[in-house]
Amino acid sequence: MTIDRRKLIALGAAGAAATLHPPLLWEAAAAQHGSSASGDELPAREASWYKKLEEGRVECELCPQACKVADLERGMCGVRENRGGTYYTLVHSLACSIHTDPIEKKPLFHVLPGEKAFSFSTAGCNVECKFCQNWEISQFRPEQVQAYNLPPERLVAAARRNQARLTAATYGEPVVFWEYVRDVAIAANAVGVRPTVVTNGFIKEKALREVLPLLSAIKVDLKSFRDEFYRKQVRGELEPVLKSLQVIKEVGVWLEIVVLLIPTLNDSAAEVRDLCAWVKSKLGPDVPVHFTRFHPTYRLTDLPPTPVASLERAWKIGRDAGLNYVYLGNVPGHPGENTTCPGCGEILIRRVGYRILSNRLVNGSCPDCQRSIPGVWS
Amino acid sequence: MTRLTRRELALVFGAGALAGTAQARMWRPLVQSGVVGLAEARAELGKPLGPEKARLAMAGALAAAVGAESGVETVAALFSPRDVVGIKVNCLAGRNLSPRVELVEALVDLIAEAGVDRRNIIVFERSNRELQRAGFTIRESGPPYRCIGTNNDYDREPATSGAIGSCFARMVSTTCSALVSFGVVKDHDLSGVSAGMKNWYGVIHNPNKYHDNGCDPYISDVARHPYIRKKLRLTVLDGVIAQCHGGPAFRKGGIFELGMVAASTDPVAADLWAWREIEAERSRRGMPTLEAAGRPVRFLATAAKAGLGVDDPARLSLVTA
């Protein structure tokens, strides 16, 4: 028997879950949908955001790609299919990756520090980042990866068994499984588990607004502040992502932003400065911005990892721009991982990688100067 | 565009020399740029063509495509006995608008008669299910030939070709040494035409990423990857029943009885012929051109610029059997 890397990753994820709670693996395996090695048809649910066009075509209204899809065809995400003039999602409850992570891994630094997030993903993505870290699930179709039937209620039950106070739709791109995200959030809220999302933010406003009130926190990857980068490296657009950030802020869901700095492509001081100025003026100084380190992968293997000096420059630019919470990521042990009080300058939460070394917050405030630190702390 | 008979073409290109070339030590597959061989093959929708008519049509189209005396002779000019021949069929639209089994089997027989071991002739599509829906029988190891889905057996790392970055099916990257695109003649709601070239979308893991801008330059980028370009020997189009509107799925209102089988060593020319036939039928029906309907066929010009074949109608030679 041979096994490819994608299956190995999926099994690894399942194995990790099994380590945490053996019955989960059994349940998952028992309900497993085979990747369509034999061409088995995937289960389908009617999509929530689309409109019907003439002659059996449909137009997806979930993301700004706005795919117009003919019968038997799929949208760019690869997980939504037109079957006879009705548009279906093929990934609702079809998790291909499940794992319990520290919330710091998302990263959501201002959300229940040190708590576990029961994390899940399906196959598919609505863009194609050349530097995707999870391309082995995000850039594949659901029948091409090992997946598990994990309906929302069972997912949330698994989260509780694993002592996870949060769920996190992550790894791939939650926008493409937005109905699943919504239904998991409903199930989670019903039992006091907090649902979170890690997304590219490339989503239409209506779909975003319909699900946002169900979420406790959301992290958006702002991949660049240049539309040209979005078009060439991501096959998306900048403007809809900026719009999403503003909508999230307006609705009041806790928001953090991650910017993956890629040498020569999006790490110029000018671009970082523009980005930070926009965040401060449109979202306010209290939205955390994480600058994280790139490592070569997928279709971008000819660039080196981001020099730490570039990250530190961005860190300084962000703070100089007046942002109160600027972090560095993928640089374990760097002081840029810590949360510092903008009032008195004392370190409040000390981190190394995904570990919390100390947390001095008292009821969400600095114990030294009593300044309130924004976030989801309880 | 010129219309020649097969015998005239044979005189021009020297079929005898072709046979000699096939047997030479430095064997090279034949390429006839701009030439499309055509043979009549008529059957109503849903009715079988019959093995004899299928054989006649396939052999005729093949011989016409290269100016050879027989289909077997043509095949010998295209495939080495040592080849592992992969025949990619486009079965997305199901039984009514996929390559007819009898035509595909006629091609298999001709390839086998030219000396290729039947165990090394593989009819394939993305999945077993798609093949079965189109009427094929899954044959993991034959006989009389292998017929299997690639079933998500892709290379582990993506390969880049122009704008695309895809994992190719190991069937084309590794297993096969020679390839045939066996498509149908049909309209496509985004690329305009889906015939022989777009069929190669079925060997990459992420075709859904490459449908914007009329699938251009992506169709060309897939076809010019060395896995395809260096191995592609032949394009065959089942035009017994064609579709001028409503594709790529089967739509009865768009169907017409074209009654032709086409073969070419030039993938661009083959698609150019398909495009012309679709436009002709649309014109007969008073329908707008594909361009006017919002789906201009851009990918052929891009493919021609990439050196994959001839897209100039003035250089298209249609040779009837």
**Token pair for residue A311?**
């990250």
Task: Please state the domain extents for chain B.
Answer: 36-310
pLDDT at residue A229 in the model: 98
Q: What does the pLDDT average to over A13-17?
A: 43
Task: Closest CB to B152: pick one of A41, A70, A143.
Answer: A143
> Residue A184 falls within a domain, yes or no?
yes
> A289 forms bridges with which residues in the sheet?
A257, A326
Residue the block writes with tokens 């009389």: B144
Measuring CA to CA, which residue among B175, B30, B306, B245 is closest to residue A56? B245
A78 has a chain B CB within 8 A of its CB: yes
Measuring CA to CA, which residue among A57, A156, A78 is closest to residue A123? A78
d(CA B284, CA A6): 50
pLDDT at residue B8 in the model: 55
d(CA A135, CA A29): 23
pLDDT at residue A35 in the model: 35
Percentage above 70 pLDDT, chain A: 89
Residue the block writes with tokens 């011989």: B63
Cβ–Cβ < 8 Å for B264, B160? no
Q: What does the pLDDT average to over A28-44?
A: 46
**Token pair for residue B157?**
């790392």
Cβ–Cβ < 8 Å for A321, A308? no
Largest CA distance in chain A: 67
DSSP code, position B29: -
> A328 forms bridges with which residues in the sheet?
A291
Q: Please list every residue in chain A whose beta carbon sits closer than 8 Å to the beta carbon of residue B184.
A: none
> Residue A89 falls within a domain, yes or no?
no
Q: What does the pLDDT average to over A267-286?
A: 98
Q: How far is A279 from chain B (nearest CA, A)?
A: 31
* Bond prior to B207 in cis (omega within 30° of 0): no
**Token pair for residue A237?**
């657009």
3-state class (DSSP) for residue A154: helix
pLDDT at residue A326 in the model: 98
> Residue A51 falls within a domain, yes or no?
no
> Do the Cβ atoms of B156 and A4 come within 8 Å?
yes
For chain B, which residues score pLDDT lower than 50?
11-25
> Do the Cβ atoms of A140 and B208 come within 8 Å?
no
Q: What is the pTM of this model?
A: 0.87
Cβ–Cβ < 8 Å for A261, A294? yes
**CATH superfamily assigned to domain B36-310:** LarA, N-terminal domain (3.40.50.11440)
Q: Mutating which of B132, B206, B221, B290 best tests the A interface, going by the most A Cβ atoms within 10 A?
A: B206
> Do the Cβ atoms of B129 and A37 come within 8 Å?
no
Phi, psi torsion values for B293, nearest 5 degrees: -85, 0
Query: pLDDT tens-digit profile of A165-190?
Result: 999 999 999 999 999 999 999 999 99
Tally of domains in chain A: 1
**Token pair for residue B286?**
């008073």
pLDDT at residue B74 in the model: 87
A130 has a chain B CB within 8 A of its CB: yes
C-alpha distance across the termini of chain B, in Å: 17
Alpha-carbon distances of A271 from A182, A226, A266, A281, B135, rounded to whole Å: 34, 8, 7, 15, 57
pLDDT at residue B219 in the model: 98
Q: Please list every residue in chain B whose beta carbon sits closer than 8 Å to the beta carbon of residue A138.
A: none
**Token pair for residue B45?**
């929708």
Nearest CA in chain A to B246: A55
Supply the range of the domain harboring residue A300: 94-359
pLDDT at residue B32 in the model: 86
Measuring CA to CA, which residue among B245, B219, B235 is closest to residue B299? B219
Measuring CA to CA, which residue among A256, A249, A265, A267 is closest to residue A221? A256
pLDDT at residue B134 in the model: 96
Q: What is the mean pLDDT of chain A?
A: 90
Give me the CATH number covering residue A138: 3.20.20.70
Task: Closest CB to A70: pick one of B158, B212, B249.
Answer: B249
Query: pLDDT tens-digit profile of A113-161?
Result: 999 999 999 999 999 999 999 999 999 999 999 998 999 999 999 999 9
Measuring CA to CA, which residue among B230, B200, B247 is closest to residue B87? B200
b/e map B274-311, b = 16+ CB within 10 Å: bbbbbbebbeeeebeebeeeebebbbbbbbbebebbbb
Measuring CA to CA, which residue among B28, B36, B32, B43 is closest to residue B4? B36
DSSP code, position B295: -
3-state class (DSSP) for residue A254: strand
Q: Please list every residue in chain A whose beta carbon sits closer than 8 Å to the beta carbon of residue B246.
A: 55-56
Q: What does the pLDDT average to over A212-217?
A: 98
pLDDT at residue B72 in the model: 87
Nearest CA in chain A to B206: A140
ipTM over 0.85: no
d(CA B113, CA B117): 9
pLDDT at residue B29 in the model: 73
HEC-encoded secondary structure of B63-116: HHHHCCCCHHHHHHHHCCCCCCEEEEECCCCCHHHCCCHHHHHHHHHHHHHCCC
Cβ–Cβ < 8 Å for A212, A173? no
Task: Mention every residue, 6+ apart, whose C-beta is less than 8 A from residue B33.
Answer: B265, B266, B269, B309, B310, B315
Q: What does the pLDDT average to over A336-359?
A: 96
Q: Please list every residue in chain B whose beta carbon sits closer than 8 Å to the beta carbon of residue A139.
A: 158, 205-206, 209
pLDDT at residue B186 in the model: 97
Cβ–Cβ < 8 Å for B239, B187? no
pLDDT at residue B27 in the model: 61
